[in-house]
Structure 1
Amino acid sequence: MTPEVFLPGQTVVRREIMRGEPWIAIPQVCVQDDGDLLVTYTPGGTPLAYPATGTFPVGEHPWKTAGSRKWRGHGRLELHWTGVEHSLFLFWDGPERAFQGWYFNLEDAPRRTPMGFDTLDHELDVWWAADAETYEFKDVVEFEETGPARYPGRMPQIRAEGARIAGLLDAGKIWWDKSWADWTPDSSWEPRDVPADWESVAFEAR
């Protein structure tokens, strides 16, 4: 049975499903979950898991081809809302753990599984650096190049979500708690392992 909510400190596996196949899995830590907002954290050193086999109609995950096997740096905080086609990533940098900014990651709305949730990164992003007056779109060219194969028939909707985010920001709307910028992880949270059966857990393909 899929859990209604995850408990703080529990392992939550973020899995991306590409064209009907598992593409990557990242074991994260639940920070909080009220059934609507799911907040997860990826500690530095977290292993990145890739499927052993598959047809890979658009190729294997680019992080795998680049040789990435672990998450680097201070870690990443993610805010996921039920039914919302983007999440919000927070990053920190340097020995003083300075907040870097807000990263609106366009992706499938989270689909919960017994071990975590499934999604798919949409390549297109909106980045608002902590020291910047406004935001900028990221990976626009990459999205236009890879989108027809990765998200057939969905590109207009993905562009519309990017425009919706930009419109909200232009209007001064804040739909997240900005105090997350000051958040620090529990010192006892170590990188988690991916369940051995992560590829075989049932999923809903889009």
Structure 2
Amino acid sequence: MTAPVFQPGQTVVRREIMRGEPWIAIPQVCVQDDGDLLVTYTPGGTPMVYPETGVFPVGEHPWKLSGSTHWRGHGRLELHWAGVEHSLFLFWAGPGRAFQGWYFNLEDAPRRTPVGFDTLDHELDVWWGADAETYEFKDVPEFEETGPARYPGRMDQIRAEGDRIARLLDAGELWWDKAWADWTPDPAWQPREIPAGWASVPFEAR
């Protein structure tokens, strides 16, 4: 089956697949898609949806356990590259919608589905604040604690991706367009609803 290419404004469902089960789904908006770079946006108020049933060998999604049901704030922009084991998140805050910084979210490379794409957050992250001189690693203790159960046999691979990002940043290499920091969403883009049957869409487990 040919991987779908999405059109601007189309709903794109981001699913996380944990140990062979859907774990969470977020209906996002396609900003652009050329088949290699997929850019999506999560408007404030977007529902965060969790499966009704499952074995959940590592427990249900932490956001569900904390009672999170909707995305808050100005929304989140995500840049996903085919075959790349991280995405880049952009955030804004405050009444002036000030850019907050670059968030390198280590996760499975996107696997496209008929309704969007599948991935899995690896918990380990690299954050470079808009006004900071350099980056910092985030959630290292959490990754070391939960990783062996969540990503068995993949810990070294995930650490290596974090190190690769750090080396590129240290070398001053940019693999994204910094103009995204000035991006603003189409005001007509409202939060999307999750399509029926989202959890039963076939997926490729890792």
Q: TM-score, normalised by structure 2?
A: 0.99
Which runs of at least 4 in structure 1 moved beyond 4 Å after TM superposition? none
Match for 2:141: what amino acid?
V
**Residues 102-151 of structure 1 deviation map (CA, whole Å, 9 limit, x = unaligned):** 00000000000000000000000000000000000000000000000000
2:36 pairs with 1:21 = no
User: C-alpha displacement at 1:4, in angstroms?
Assistant: 3.0
CA distance in 2, matches of 1:3, 1:55: 29
Q: Would you say the 8 A contact 1:5–1:34 is kept in 2?
A: yes
The equivalent of 1:73 in structure 2 is 73
Q: Would you say the 8 A contact 1:104–1:127 is kept in 2?
A: yes
CA distance in 1, matches of 2:132, 2:116: 34
User: C-alpha displacement at 1:5, in angstroms?
Assistant: 0.7
The equivalent of 2:104 in structure 1 is 104
Match for 2:94: what amino acid?
G
CA distance in 2, matches of 1:111, 1:152: 19
2:116 pairs with 1:142 = no
Q: Would you say the 8 A contact 2:25–2:50 is kept in 1?
A: yes
Q: Would you say the 8 A contact 2:4–2:114 is kept in 1?
A: no
CA distance in 2, matches of 1:72, 1:58: 26
CA RMSD of aligned residues (A): 0.7
**Residues 140-198 of structure 1 deviation map (CA, whole Å, 9 limit, x = unaligned):** 00000000000000000000000000000000000000000000000000000011100
Match for 2:15: what amino acid?
R
**Residues 13-50 of structure 1 deviation map (CA, whole Å, 9 limit, x = unaligned):** 00000000000000000000000000000000000000
Match for 2:75: what amino acid?
G
Give the total of aligned pairs: 206
CA distance in 2, matches of 1:66, 1:196: 24
SS in 2 for 1:53: coil
CA distance in 2, matches of 1:133, 1:186: 31
The equivalent of 1:163 in structure 2 is 163
User: C-alpha displacement at 1:2, in angstroms?
Assistant: 5.2
Q: TM-score, normalised by structure 1?
A: 0.99
CA distance in 2, matches of 1:187, 1:129: 26
Q: Would you say the 8 A contact 1:2–1:113 is kept in 2?
A: no
CA distance in 1, matches of 2:123, 2:130: 21
